[in-house]
Amino acid sequence: MKIYRDLSSYKVEHAILTQGTFDGVHLGHRQIIERIIETAREEKGESVLLTFHPHPRHVLFPDIEGPMLLSSLEEKIQKLEEIGLEHLIIYPFTKDFSRMDAVHFVRDLLVNQIHAKKIIVGYDHHFARNREGNLSTLIELGPLYDFEVEEISAQEIDDINISSTKIRKAIEEGDLTTANKYLGYEYVLNGSVIKGKQVGRTLGYPTANLNVNGQVKLIPKDGIYVVKARIEDKLYKGMMSIGFNPTVQTENRQRHIEVNIFDFDQDIYGKDVEVSIVQRLRDEEKFEDLEGLKRKLHEDKVRSLEILG
């Protein structure tokens, strides 16, 4: 897959194009991307996806939090490459760019620079200044600028209107089963391992404290989760705690993400870890003593291993 952060080296002359933020690259997105790949093959064109960075809302409303993202830019690139996309344009989103109206957006960018011959979009697609452009705009401009338009309806995506908003809500509620179903893969957190208080080690459950890459990456609801951890291309089973460690943390309350990797005893401080979250086990609990916490961790490990098979 070729990646462009500007269009100076872009040479495609027959683009089968889709565009949007594609946060999470979920099953609905995947259907659109697979359609442009298939169409490009049939029409002897090339599949092109136009996305934007940073996320438009983070530029337009910097003083208002959100949305937290389902995928970092690196995670998005990885998913798009796995699907088989040929060309990815990561267009810099600025306030000046956001003021471009729909006609200029289509004519100057999509047609004159990207050379779109067919534009395939998902259900309820909007674009350009104040989201004024939509499917009707594209259909109206198609004959004028010599491109075709196709919409993939919600009904075509397994009769489920999958959206990044629905997936975010599920993750915020700790419902990783639903989130993973809509994503088409297990939700991941990527981060580097930092030093913690090492309380888990004294209990026989050492943890890797994760500093998640990307300040706007959505972190699931506090609780205990069944996970798989990838370290240097090797996959391990484990469980993860997200929250404030109420049994051992009495002051300077800070939210931690800690992963207990089963059957693993290596020094990985500073190393990168990819954590795939399978499902949520339970809420955080405060125990009367460390022995009570240790017994519960044993139960959590047994359940995690049952779930992971």
DSSP string, 182-201: HHTS-EEEEEEEE----HHH
pLDDT tens readout for residues 79-91: 999 999 999 999 9
Residue 250 has a pLDDT of 57
Hey, is 217 helix, strand or coil? strand
Residue 293 has a pLDDT of 87
Q: What amino acid is encoded at 215 in this protein?
A: Q
pLDDT tens readout for residues 92-104: 999 999 999 999 9
Q: How many CB atoms lie within 10 A of CB 244?
A: 15
Residue 199 has a pLDDT of 64
95-to-7, 105, 107, 113, 127 alpha-carbon distances in Å:
19, 14, 19, 20, 14
Q: What amino acid is encoded at 205 in this protein?
A: Y
> Looking up tokens 């929250």, which residue turns up?
243
pTM recorded for the entire structure:
0.90
CA separation for the pair 275, 269 (Å, rounded): 15
Residue 65 has a pLDDT of 67
Long-range contacts of 58-64 (CB under 8 A, 24+ apart): 58/216, 59/93, 59/94, 59/95, 59/98, 60/95, 60/98
CA separation for the pair 205, 86 (Å, rounded): 44
Confirm if 23 and 70 have CB atoms less than 8 A apart.
Answer: yes
Omega prior to 246 cis, within 30 of 0: no
CA separation for the pair 75, 123 (Å, rounded): 24
DSSP string, 43-106: TT-EEEEEEEES-HHHHH-TTS--PPBSS-HHHHHHHHHHHT-SEEEEEEP-HHHHT--HHHII
Q: What is the pLDDT along the chain (309 residues), one digit of tens a residue?
A: 999 999 999 999 999 999 999 999 999 899 999 999 999 999 999 999 999 999 888 888 887 766 799 999 999 999 999 999 999 999 999 999 999 999 999 999 999 999 999 999 988 899 999 999 999 999 999 999 999 999 987 656 555 568 888 999 999 999 999 999 999 999 999 999 998 766 666 667 888 999 998 778 999 999 999 999 999 989 999 999 999 887 776 566 788 999 999 999 888 999 999 999 999 999 998 887 778 888 999 999 999 999 999
Where b means 16+ CB within 10 Å and e means fewer, 173-207 reads ebbbeebbebbbeebbbbbbbeebeebbeebebbb
